Every structure is written in structure tokens, then in C-alpha cells.
Structure 1
Amino acid sequence: MTTDALARLSLDPDQLHGIDAWWRAANYLSVGQIYLRANPLLREPLALAHVKHMLLGHWGTTPGQNFIYAHLNRAIRQYDLDMFYISGPGHGGPAVVANAYLDGTYSEVYPDISQDEAGLQRLFKQFSFPGGIPSHASPECPGSLHEGGELGYSLSHAFGAVFDNPGLIAACVVGDGEAETGPLATAWHSNKFLDPVGDGAVLPILHLNGYKIANPTVLARIGRDELEQLLRGYGWTPYFVSGSEPAAMHQAMAAALDAVVAQIRLIQRDAREHGVTARPRWPMIVLDSPKGWTGPKLVDGKPNEGTFRAHQVPLSVSASSPPEHLQQLEAWLRSYRPDELFDAHGRLQPELAALAPAGTRRMSANPHTNGGMLLRDLRLPDFRDYAVAVPQPGVPGIGDTHVLGPFLRDVIRLNQQPRNFRMFGPDETVSNGLNAVFEATNRQWEAALKPNDEFLAAQGRVVEMLSEHQCEGWLEGYLLSGRHGLFNCYEAFIHIVDSMFNQHAKWLKTTAAIPWRRPLASLNYLLASHVWRQDHNGFTHQDPGFIDHVVNKKAQIVRVYLPPDANCLLSVIDHCLRSRHYVNVVVAGKHPAPQWLAMDAAQRHCNQGIGLWPWASSDQRGEPDVVMACAGDVPTLETLAAVTILRRYLPELKLRVVNVVDLMKLQSRSEHPHGLDDDDFDQLFTRDKPVVFAFHGYPSLVHRLTYRRTNHDNLHVHGYQEEGTITTPFDMTVLNALDRFHLVIDVINRVPQAGERGIYLKQKLLDKLLEHKQYIDDNGEDLPEIRNWAWGAQDAGMLA
């Protein structure tokens, strides 16, 4: 539908005047934030002393967003909508701050930013100013659920927020520059996953203003017909609002919103009351307005409004700038007629303040944007009921994630009403061994179905799409709006969301220091199909580096867990699902593997996060000759296999086995709240004995976490060395010197007590490595003594 067609439905004169006045007020506040440190209402002629020395911010998108916000306020009041606002071009921070101030929410959470001239001056000065607030749509701004510092995730967040919120509408402004990012381009397909019965609605508003920092945008240069075909091809019904003349644009935007609200309500009514199951074509709006709308049209003789030059600060004003720039800024500010908008005390005129929705209907006060206010505890089954029986260490296991699956299945069952938990992943829930969840739910799916499909339905607690970006964005939106979730993914490809993780971790850190923000459910990653069991997929699937990336973030936010078996995995996941305001990364295997600890012992071990395993050690009568440390399921297996060789062939050596579940235990407590005190660390790892450490990831990470420890110089870490191919499971460890044979050789090289017997044992091990290579090349599988190895078996040494 075009602007001309929409304009036949019009606002009455009072509504038109009010919306335009609100828009002018928001624009005035936005320009003031970018430029002014004093004289906020221009009570005196503007002087350089009133202007900030450093001008920062983004003007180009801001007036369009103010325009949208003003119209959404009218729709909320007229139709009693439960709606919140996501600023995709979040660098337009002045807009969300201005509107939160105009509707009163900003002053409620920051009383010093009062509704008067003094408060207005503080509002202006704090923007992009030392000790103030960022220029983006940041956590400091009430109503902000989406950090706008990085582009591309707005639409994913919007959909995540409306899942299981049937009365909620997320109005999501998508910048036309943002629309060029891969995550945003994929996110248009979210409409194939939105259930009109149990979920809310997303209203995308594509803000087509033509330019990025220095280039035109693709969607602004492809022609109306092509753009409409593209959006309809994505499954949307677009309503176009285009122009620059304010009165006509107000009329057209109001009519578009009226039509959109009616269409959303019709779709939901048809599905909820009449059982219509066909996938709907949800409406959206394309707002085509000039970049930097209502700003300077010319600066230094060059066009500004409607060009890329309006993107950031369109007009330089300083002692070194041309004097006419100051005059131009004053004229620009006065063009909004602030004397009509604010009273003598600097308060918004009462008739304009009355245009804001009331209470929590204000988008900046909507509780879904401060999700911790709505957060309810998960109902969790007793994880101990799912325990693997471990009568003695080393019993065979079916695969740790296969044990976890029934626990997650019952988490889903227990949280159906209210619907408070979802799992997200890129088409890997079955592959990662979590099939049991489909005994309780389906994958949510609104597109076409075929007879051979499995586990697809309009309502499901698992949401899968082959886009890690999309799954991450959905989950973040779900968490940010007050629910719980889990992201399961192949370990190597979770790197795709590195930057999204960054942004969420920064959000958590920042909000933790904002008193009015409430803690959120943790962002939980379960990484399966990990590096040591991707032998069949080859080098591309072998990368444990996400945990290196995670530990860069603040210690109060990040946690990394490497459970060695299924019972430990159950304990860790239960803890993570109960936790608040963290990012938890759990790495676990899906392939059959030995089980080490009975549930009671596993729970104690996980609670401690690190511990000595007496049943595997032989140093009970004195200080160890060597510490055999391990973190991760395969490193634990290889360490214990190495211990069996050492105990058989070098029985005089005193061995200590230390297993690490909580990786952050390796850091000092002064660096991480989970860290061990130095005395406790020294008791486990000694002050001067060799430590041979088998680690799941890159060896440098362990060194980085322990570099301040007393015995760091004696710490020798085996881990992934960026060696891999399509090979056998055991050969993956051999290629990276993490296997039992290399571990034993390292002990022999570093422990003088190994003596002459050690030299002969080393030769046997080197011969065994050659035999291993020849055997896998001939047979395509590991040696029988590797495949059939068991802890405590008579032939555990494998070298006879």
C-alpha cells in the first residue's frame, strides 16, 4: 500500500498538531544532546561556551526514529497496545533517550535528570560526555532491550522477545544500512517460526533513509517494485510511507499504523478463535524519509539533509569552525520552536505530556525491556534422578549428552505453563544427542509440512534454523525479556556468534551496575560434537577456541565448565539453568565414553569445581612425583589411560590425578570469584613438582589462567595444536600430542625417578605410536586395545 492510498485515512487536526509537536520536541532534545552543555532552552543567544568541546553522536537516523516513536505512542494509546521499541540503527541513541525523557520514564529512574530546565541541561550534557551515557541505545536507557552498538541483531531480538508473549508487539526499526548485514538479512525469515496463537507479533519498520556513513544503502537504490518483491518474497506485507513534507507524512504514517494494527489483530483472531492454520503474511512498514530530516539542508555550500553527510554530526561548531556554523546551529534548534514545547520551568507542556501512553504502556517503561522484573524461576526436576549408575570408575556410557536429554525433556514438560523455557540451535539438537526432548515437544515451525517431516508443529519449545546468528539473537531476546533458555551447538561453529556473545556479555556487565535493572537468566551454551570427536568431519569441524574468546570478558560475567562425564554434566547444567546474569559455557561429548563418578561424588566434585581423585592416584603416602591434571571428557580419558600405563610399568612413581570441571578455578580468586586461593592451588598442584595437564582446548589458555601461580614454570599443557583431519578418534589426540602415549612420554622426560625403566618404556611407546599409525592407515579404525580399553582391566597397559 502506498503513501497516497494511506493518506486517505487521516488524523484530525488536534492529533496532527500533537504528534508533530511531540516529534519537534524529540528532535530538539536529540540535537541538544549532540551539541549543548548549557543554555538548554535557548533562553539567551547561543554562544560557543554553551556547546560541547567534542561533538559525538549520529543525527541521520534520529529524526526518522523520533517520527516513528511519536506515531507508535498514538497507536498504543488508541488501541491499548502492549508494545515496546527496538532501535536497530541503535547509534541513533539521542532518539530513544529523548522519548524516554519526554514520557517521564527517564526522570523516574534518574531523578537528577528532572523534568525542568536544570534536568534538561544535565540530560544534554551527559550524552557522549565523560561520566555520562553512550551515544547508542544502551542499557542505561530505560526501554532499551537491544544494544545498538553493533548492527544486525534487532529483528532477531524482537522475535525472541515475543515468543510466548501472545499479547506483546515488538516494534522493530531496521536501518537500511543494518539490513545489509547477514544476521538481519536472515532474520526476515523469522516469520516462519512465529506462532500467531501462542506468540506475540513483530512489526518491522524498515527505515529507508538512503545512506550509511559514506555510501548509499542497497535497499534504497533498487527501486520500489524490486524492494516490494523482495519483502513479499520474505513473506511480509509491506506498507510504504514515503516523502518529506511533515503533514502528509504524519497522515500516511498514522494510516499505515491503523492498517497494520488491524491486520495483526485479524491474523491473531483468525488463529486463536477460528483455528486458521495457514501461515500468515504479517504486515510491516517501509518508512522512506530523508536522512537527517529537518536538519541543515546545506552546510558550507554542500547538501546535507538527505545525504550521507547527515549521518553523524552534520555541523561542526567550535572555535576553529566558521562563525556561521554557530548561527546555523542556533537557527536549527529554534526551528523546532522550543518556546511552544516547554513551559517557563522547562517542563514539557501538559497537553503534549498527555500524549504519552500511561504507566507501563509507555515503551520506555514496558517491563519486557527490563526482563528481570518478569523473570520466574524455572521448575526443575531433580537432576539426580537421571544419574548414570557408576558402581566403579570407568563403566561404559552411552554418551553424556544422551543422558542429559531426558533431563532437558522434563525441564520442558515442567515449564509449559507458563511457557518459560526454550531450546535454540542450528539444526543440531538431534545430532548433539538431545533427541529425548522431542518426547515432550516439537520444533516450532510455521512453514509448509510434508509427510516425512519429524517433530515439526506450530507450537514447540525447540526453535531451530541453520543460522547460529539467528538462534543466538532469538535466545538473547527471549532472555532479555524475562525467560530462560539453552543454546546447543557444534563447538567449532559457535564462533559464528563471537561478536553477538561480546555484545550480550557487555550488556550483562553494564546492567549489573544499574540499580533499576534486574538480573536476567543466564545465557547458557551447550557445546557438543566437540573437537576431539569430530574426526569424521575433519579439520573444519575441529576448533575449541570459543572458550578462549569467552574468558576475555569480565570475571563476574563468564563461567566455563568441562564436565568429565554424564553425572557431572547433569550437575553442571542444573546449576547453569538456576543461575542469573552469567554467560555459562558447557562443553560435553555425545559419543559413548567411560563414566567416572557416581552421582553423589559427581555433585560434590562439581560443587568444588576442581578436585583430587584419590581412586586414580598413588601418592597417598607422600608428595607426588608428578601431577596428572585434566579438564574435559577426552583429556580425562587419556589422562587415566596414561595413569594405567604408568602404574603398571613404573609402579614406584607417586601419581596425583587432579580433574578440573570449572575452568575458572585455575585463576586466582583475586582475578575471578571462582578462583582458588594460592594456598589451595599449591596444595593440589604442589609448589615444585611437574604437572602434566591434558586440556580440552588450546594449551595457551591454561598458561594464561595460571601464569601467576607458584608452580607455573612446571606446568606442561597438552591440548589442541591446530592439527586435525578426517581420521580416527584416537588419532585426533595423537596428532595433537594429547594421547595417553605422549602424556606418559612427557612424564618420563620430566620426572627423574622414571630412571632406566622409563627410558625403555618410552621406546615402547614410540613404537606403539608407529604401530597405531600403520594400523589406522590399513584398517580405518583404532587399535583394538584402544577401542576396548577399560579402567582397571588386566591388560590396561596395552604394551605387553
Structure 2
Amino acid sequence: MSVEPQQVSGVLTDEESRTLDAHWRAANYLSVGQIYLMANPLLTEPLRPEHVKPRLLGHWGTSPGLNLVYTHLNRLIRSRGLEALCVWGPGHGGPAVVANSWLEGSYTETYPDVTRDAAGMARLFRQFSFPGGVPSHVAPETPGSVHEGGELGYALSHAYGAAFDNPGLLVACVIGDGEAETGPLAASWHSDKFLDPVHDGAVLPILHLNGYKIANPTVLSRLPEPELDDLLRGYGHEPLHVTGDDPAAVHRAMARAMDTAADRIAGVQRAAREDGATERPRWPVIVLRTPKGWTGPAEVDGLPVEGTWRAHQVPLSAVRDNPDHLRQLEEWLRSYRPRELFDEHGAPRPDVLACVPDGARRLGSTPHANGGLLLRELPLPPLERYAVPVDEPGATLHEPTRVLGDLLEDVMRGTADRRDFRLVGPDETASNRLQAVYGASGKAWQAGILDVDEHLDRHGRVMEILSEHTCQGWLEGYLLTGRHGLFSCYEAFVHIVDSMVNQHIKWLRVSRRLPWRAPIASLNYLLTSHVWRQDHNGFSHQDPGFVDHILNKSPEAVRVYLPPDANTLLSVADHALRSRDYVNVIVAGKQPCFDWLTMEQAKAHCARGAGIWDWAGTEDGTREPDVVLACAGDVPTQEVLAAARLLRDHLPELAVRVVNVVDIARLLPSEEHPHGMGDFEYDGLFTPDKPVVFAYHGYPWLIHRLAYRRTGHGHLHVRGYKEVGTTTTPFDMVVRNDLDRYRLVMDVIDRVPGLAVRAAAVRQRMEDVRLRHHQYIREHGVDLPEVADWSWDG
């Protein structure tokens, strides 16, 4: 918001109060109409059963409160010339947000067939929660939305993500009192310790306490007001209360609270931006207490409804069959006096629109809710600047994520002025070897700073909080409002955001089908400190299953990459950071890893997604291979190449093909995933009938699931993580899970026809090494010298 907005007293004139109430009543009328009606939208004739939808779906309880907030945000934006966005946490209030965007004209501009007249109102009503229509939640289809309804717990972190690096933006965030009970929401209150009053916008939380969830009271609504105030002040906020059920009084109180909040926010920003204040401010929060289902039926079938949990969804559920319910519905609708609100053609009257802002300042038209409109290309430098030299495969080692950190440092530096790139993660940036970024930006921090602290920066764009939920929410809000970013996380703990990424993928899938939504930057995960290099932390830190979770989702929106070395990581990261409308998951190690490919080779290999490493195998081009050794992931690649070397030494006559897979979706049929291979290409790579021993980074059954329809699936044998882990040596991890080089050689001998007898002695030697390994680590505490000192010398 602007540094010196016009200060408004918060005292409403009678005319302002009247027009605000007209807007609110119109939004309430439209909300009820969406839930119930499929005809007779203006009640130009008595309501009949056939005017009512056969299936009543939707949520009334939160809608009147959301309509009140929307009405008063309109007033605030219009009177002060603000640029604003609202995140609607109670997503079940879909009817309210749709109603308001129709009133202000944004909905009709987005969907021209839903006109602002009686015909358009009828279409608006009919389409809601109706086959072929729109969802009941605040969804991607809703103009002005960046938050899918039903994502309980994430509204506030999304709001802060939208505010970061948006110094002119006010982000209002309505938090339902059911949502306020969730763990992610509780953690996200701490986001104010990361909000920079100089370079960021402001977040105005509006805690909407209507008392109930779907069937139970809510915790915060039952706290005494002093206790709730203590809680909110402890989070760093100064509460402003709006309480009541008398519309005129609530309008006056809401206007006063909104103006007070805006004045306080402007004062904080002015102090930081003009006076150089560095003390962490106390930001306002509005606590809005209104009855659940306010202005709806007070009683139905002799039971109280308004102000109770019975108002949560559809208060009158038998309208088509019960004449009393039909009568109550008509009385309810007419109580809003629709003739005063809409003219004879169904258009909103001028009084209803008196508070509505103009153009892109309308909440349904702000470009910040359609972030692709604001997105700029990320300035990515040429990869050759960071590439590690590779004269021979496997002759040198580098830490892949450390190499990537140098690239990210320059990306951070290249966006210093425009401030549209952030790196987020749960306290692990340095642990994940990405600390080079501190050369361009420190870690965002607004709380106390001690002399012993390092890299804390009140204006930083590296963000760390030990809450994966909050990291995810910040980044989603940042991306949805037109910026770029990367989420770095330990592989085992990214599962914490499983449900959040589900919703984001669904958002992307729906958005792709909406021509008015511009593509946004992809949500990029870097998963490191992975399963095979968590031998020191033990079993609790060993879980590679996030990839399985992601590959269950919409193929058009998900990508999974397992680069085997530093240069392939650079290539994959460059591709992911340039992409749009995807969720990209990159799994890469932070420990020293052999360098296999030059930068030129890495680019070509990553573009293919899977390919033959002819220098690693023993094919001579005159006959088909006897066996295919396949690998995906850095440690499995090392073990496969070590196994290939053992086979070359012990069974030189065997024709071995080595295939490395970077893009896991390549294993899917082309008709199942855009990156999938056709059968002809797949059979050419893996053969239709030769044994394939596949060393995979994660759970082995994923590979079987992806390839189960292939001709050669019966010959496919996959080794991977079998949920066997502990604190041990690095090589013992692969041995325990039968992914080690010696086990892979034994697998080849077991599966290539004729080798079981001819190579029995070789197999026994492999088994002997495994037994010797078992004894050696228990005596010495480190891996066998031939393993620890191994290198490829092909």
C-alpha cells in the first residue's frame, strides 16, 4: 500500500452505511440464490419447487461474514486508492466470493456469458455446484482467487507469500475459526517475523469467529476475549475487535477497524521506509465475531439454526418436498429486499455499487491474483559458467548441490533489484550445501539478532523456518502472484507437505484449462540429504517416497528428475526454473559424487531423459546385449557402474548395456504422460526380452508400476529402498537394501541364461565380499577400502 494514504476517520455517514448495507444484502441474496435456485432468480413470481435445484450443495454458514469483509475491503480500497488482494481461507464460502465478483463486474468480464442482468444471474445461480458448472469452493475458476477452498491451514502462509517483495500491496487474509485450529495455520502466525516493512507489502489477518465448524464449536471462539488477545499479541499482532449481530452497528465497527488497521500499517511502513526504523512492528489483526449463518433462518423444524453449527451448509434441506421449507426459503430471500438491490433487468442498482473500486483495483480483477500476467523471465546465466570439468567419466568428485548453490547465488544476485526470486527451506540451506546464496542475500529475519548470528538480514530473500508447511505456503503464495522460487528440503521430511502439494497440483491442472489464467512459474523442489546419505541420522531420516506420491498426480503437471551428477543437476535445475505450470521434483545428493558427464553431454542426456552410456557398458555393436543394467539416482548410478566394472573384469565376454534414467516419467507409456516413451523407443532402449536389472533411488515397486505394460516387464528386476535402515555406514545402507554392486552382479548371474552354472564361482566371490563387509564395518566402523576408495577407471 502507498506510504502516505489518505487517512479516513472510520466514522460512517448515514449514506455510506446505507450503501454498504445494500452491497452486503445484495451479496447475501446472490449467495443464497447460488445454493438454492435454478430459475426465477429475481423472484418475479412466487417460488415453486421446480425453481429449486434437485441437489442442494454449498455452504451458507460462513458466507455472510465473507460478504461483510468483501464489502468493507471494497470501501477501504476505494477510499484510499489501495492495491489489494484477499486470500479467502474459509473456502466453503465460494458463493460469497463469486457473488461479489459478479456484483463488481469482474465475473462478467472473465465469463462474458454470465452477464450482469437477470439472465446472467440465472446462469450464475444454476452453474453453482451443478454438473458442468463451477465448484462450491473458492477455486481457480473464481476471479481474484489464489487459494483453493478446502485447503484448511494454509491461508495465512499464502497471504504472506503474496506480500513478500510486493511493497505496494495490502493482502487481506480471512481465517476461518475452524482453519485456525490447524497446525499449519498456528505456525504461519510467525510469518510476521519475516515480513520486511521496507520491501514487502502488508498482511491484514481477519480472524472470522462464527463459533462452529461443521458439527462442533471452535476453540478460539470459546476463549475469553482477554485470553485470545494475549494469544494474538504473543504472535506479534494488535487485535481489533468487531462483534455483533446488528448490521448497522457491525458496519460502523467494521469500517472503524478497517481504517484503524490501514492507518497502523501505513505508519509502520512509513517508519521503516522513511525514518529507518528497524524494530519489529506489531501488526494489526481484526477479530470478527458474527453469527454463523447470519441473516439466515433463525429456526428450522423447531431447532435453532442461525448462530449454530446447523447453519454450516444448507439450512433448509427439503425445499422441494416440504412446503414449510419452501415458504421459509422465499421469506429468507425476500428479506434482503431484492427489488431495492437490482433493477427490473436484474442489474445491480447504483447504491449497491457505490463502494466498489474501479478497474484492476477490484478484488476480482487484481493482476496479483493472476500472477502469470506479472511474471518476468528469470535471468538465468549460462550453465557453462558453473559446469565442473570432466575429462574422463568418474575421475573427479563434486558435491552437486554445492555446485548448484553457485548458480543460485547468481540468480539471487541477478534479481536483487527486481526482487522476484526466493529460496525457502526448513533451516537447511547450509546443510544442503547451498550456502553460496548468502553471498547475494542473507536470511530474512525481523526478530532479535545476536552477535553470534550469521547471515541474518532484515531485507533477505533466503527464508528458513522449521515448518515445511509454512515454507510451502510462502512459496505457493509467491509463485501464484507472479514470482519465482525454489524449495530445498531433506527428502524424508518433504512428506509433511503432501496434502499441500496435492492442492497446488489440482490448482495447476484446473488453471491450465482456463484461458484467462496466465501460466505461472513452476513449484520447484530440491530434495537432498536423501535416503542413501542419511546413514548418520538413521532410520527416521530415510524415506524416498515423495516421488511415488507426486507421480500419482496429474501427468500434465508433474515432473520428477534424478540427476546422477553435478552437471546433470545444473541442466535439470535450469530447465525447472525456466518452466511454467509444473511441480518439478529434483532429487540430488549433497555429498561428494562422481562426475560422469561433461556439460554438453549432460544437456543432451537430460533432454533425452534416459539414454545408453556406451562408455560404461561392453556392447560392441555386433549383437544385442545379454543384460541391461539400468539406474536412476546418484547412488544407484554409482553402484551400477561399479557392478558394470566388476562384470567387465570377471565376465568380459558378457555384453552389458548401461542405461541411465534422469526423467522418471520416461518409463511411462507416451499415452500416459507427455514425457513417456512409445513402446518402440522403450524396447529399443531396454530390449523386449533381455534381463533388466534396475537400481532405483526409491521404492522399487514404483518402477514396476510405471513399466508394467511394457513387453519386457516380465524380465524387469528392480532393486531399491526396502524400508531397511539404521545408523550405519554409507555402503551398508545399500547392502542392507540389496542395492549394492555385489548384489547387482549376483542378480545378473541369476537372470542371464547359462550364467548360473558358468559363473557360479563369480557369484560366490560377490557373496563373500558382502559377508566380509558385514564383519569389517562392525570392527572398524567404516566401509571396506575397496568400496571407500573405489573409482571408475574404464
**Does the TM-score normalized on the shorter chain lie above 0.5?**
yes
Distance in 1 of aligned mates of 2:65 and 2:627: 67
Match of 2:658 in 1: 657
Aligned position for 1:349: 349
What's the CA shift for 1:741? 0.8
Look up the match of 1:396. Answer: 396
Aligned partner of 2:72 in structure 1 is 71
In structure 1, the residue matched to 2:747 is 746
Alpha-carbon distance in 2 for matches of 1:319, 1:459: 59
**1:789 corresponds to:** 790
- Post-superposition Cα deviations, 1:415-446, rounded to whole Å, max 9, x if no partner, equal 11211100000001111111111111100000
Alpha-carbon distance in 1 for matches of 2:681, 2:362 = 53
Query: Which string of whole-angstrom CA distances, capped at 9 and with x for unpartnered residues, describes residues 289-322 of structure 1?
Result: 10100001111111111100001111113444x3
1:8: how far off? 9.6
Residues 726-759 of structure 1, C-alpha deviations (whole Å, 9 max, x = no match): 0110011011110001100000000124254410
**SS of residue matched to 1:555:** coil
1:669-696 CA-partner distances (Å, limit 9, x unpaired): 1111111121111111011000000000
Give the structure 1 partner of residue 558 of structure 2. Answer: 558
> What's the CA shift string for 1:389-436, capped at 9, x where partnerless?
111011231311111110110010111121110000000111111111
Question: Structure 1: which amino acid aligns with 2:240?
Answer: Y
Establish whether residue 289 from structure 1 lines up as the match of residue 290 from structure 2.
Answer: yes
1:148-187 map, 5 Å: 148-187=149-188
The answer for the alignment partner of 1:502 in structure 2 is: 502
What amino acid sits opposite 1:14 in the alignment?
Answer: E
* Whole-angstrom distance in 1 between the partners of 2:326 and 2:192: 48
Say which SS state the counterpart of residue 752 (structure 1) adopts: coil
One-letter identity of the residue aligned with 2:766 = L
Residues in 1 aligned to 2:9 and 2:312: alpha-carbon distance in whole angstroms: 33
Contact 2:26 2:352 in 1 (8 A): no
Partner of 1:449: 449
Distance (Å, rounded) in 2 between the aligned partners of 1:481 and 1:45: 45
CA displacement, residues 744-792 of structure 1 (integer Å, 9 cap, x when unaligned):
0000000124254410111111111111011111111111111000111
Distance 1:99 1:407 in 2: 45
What is the CA–CA distance in structure 2 between the aligned matches of 1:195 and 1:353, rounded to whole Å? 35
Distance 1:704 1:756 in 2: 32
How far apart, in 2, do the equivalents of 1:164 and 1:646 lie? 56
Tell me by how many angstroms 1:570 deviates: 0.3
Alignment of 1:661-672 (within 5 A): 661-672=662-673
C-alpha contact 1:396 1:592 (8 A) present in aligned 2: no
In the alignment, structure 1 residue 572 sits paired with structure 2 residue 592: no
- 2:609 touches 2:666 (CA, 8 Å); kept in 1? yes
Q: 2: distance between equivalents of 1:384 and 1:509?
A: 34
Match of 1:488 in 2: 488
1:468 aligns with 2:491: no
> Could you tell me whether the CA contact under 8 Å between 2:243 and 2:289 is conserved in 1?
yes
Matches for 1:247-262 after TM superposition, within 5 Å: 247-262=248-263
**1:219-238, aligned counterparts within 5 Å?**
219-238=220-239
- The answer to whether structure 1 residue 525 and structure 2 residue 499 are counterparts is no
Q: Which amino acid aligns with 2:529?
A: S
Does the CA contact (< 8 Å) of 1:653 and 1:754 recur in 2? no
Do the aligned residues in 2 keep the contact of 1:650 with 1:757 (CA within 8 Å)?
A: no
C-alpha distance in 2, partners of 1:281/1:636? Answer: 52
TM-score between the two structures when normalised by the length of structure 2: 0.98
Say whether the 8 Å CA contact 1:492–1:531 is kept in structure 2: yes
User: Residues 485-634 of structure 1 correspond to what in structure 2 (within 5 A)?
Assistant: 485-620=485-620, 621-634=622-635
What per-residue deviation string (whole Å, max 9, x for no partner) do you get for residues 140-199 of structure 1?
010011101221100000000010000001110000110000000111110000000000
Matching of residues 20-39 of structure 1 within 5 Å: 20-39=21-40
d(CA) in 2 for partners of 1:297, 1:370? 39
**Cα distance in 2, alignment partners of residues 319 and 666 from structure 1:** 53
Q: 1:384 deviation in Å?
A: 1.7
Whole-angstrom distance in 1 between the partners of 2:395 and 2:290: 67
Q: Which sections of structure 1, spanning at least 5 residues, go unmatched?
A: 1-6, 794-800
- The residue number in structure 2 matching 1:724 is 725
Question: Which residue in 1 is equivalent to 2:5?
Answer: none
Is the Cα contact below 8 Å between 1:668 and 1:678 reproduced in 2? yes
Counterpart code for 1:292:
G
Q: Which string of whole-angstrom CA distances, capped at 9 and with x for unpartnered residues, describes residues 103-134 of structure 1?
A: 00000111110011010000000000000000
The code of the aligned residue for 1:359 comes to G
d(CA) in 2 for partners of 1:121, 1:60: 22
The whole-number CA distance in structure 1 between the counterparts of 2:648 and 2:397 is: 24
Q: Distance in 2 between matches of 1:469 and 1:184?
A: 9
The CA distance in 1 between the partners of 2:150 and 2:624, in whole Å, is: 54
User: Which residue number corresponds to residue 760 of structure 2?
Assistant: 759
Conserved in 2, the CA contact under 8 Å of 1:27 and 1:95? yes
d(CA) in 1 for partners of 2:663, 2:100: 44
Quote the offset at 1:523 in angstroms.
0.4
Greater shift in the superposed pair: 353-362 or 63-72: 353-362
Q: Does 1:274 align with 2:270?
A: no
2:266 matched residue in structure 1: 265
Counterpart contact for 2:750–2:756, Cα < 8 Å: no
* Long gaps (5+) in structure 2: 1-7
Give, in whole Å, the separation in 2 of the partners of 1:318 and 1:61.
21
Q: Distance in 2 between matches of 1:475 and 1:725?
A: 33
Equivalents in 1 of 2:756, 2:236: separation in Å? 73
Paired residue secondary structure (2:233): helix
Identity %: 63
Could you state the TM-score of these two structures normalised by the residue count of structure 1? 0.97
CA separation in 1, counterparts of 2:516 and 2:398? 46
2:4 aligns with none
The separation in 2 between residues aligned to 1:150 and 1:52, in whole angstroms, is 27
Distance 1:692 1:248, change over 3 A: same
Deviations 1:30-85 (A, max 9, x none): 00000000000000000100000000111111000001110110010111111111
Matched AA of 2:301: D
Question: In the TM superposition, what whole-angstrom CA distance separates every residue of 1:565-602 from its partner, at most 9, and x where no partner exists?
Answer: 00000000000000010000000000012111111111
Structure 1 residue identity aligned to 2:248: A
Query: How many residues of Structure 1 are paired with residues of Structure 2 in the alignment?
Result: 786
Aligned to 1:18: 19
Q: Determine the C-alpha separation between the residues in 1 that align with 2:671 and 2:214.
A: 43
Letter matched to residue 727 of structure 2? I
Question: The residue matched to 1:711 in structure 2 has which SS?
Answer: helix
SS across alignment from 1:18: helix
SS in 1 for 2:352: helix
- Counterpart Cα distance in 1 of 2:344 and 2:10: 37
Amino acid at match of 1:726: T
Describe the SS at the equivalent of 1:148.
Answer: coil
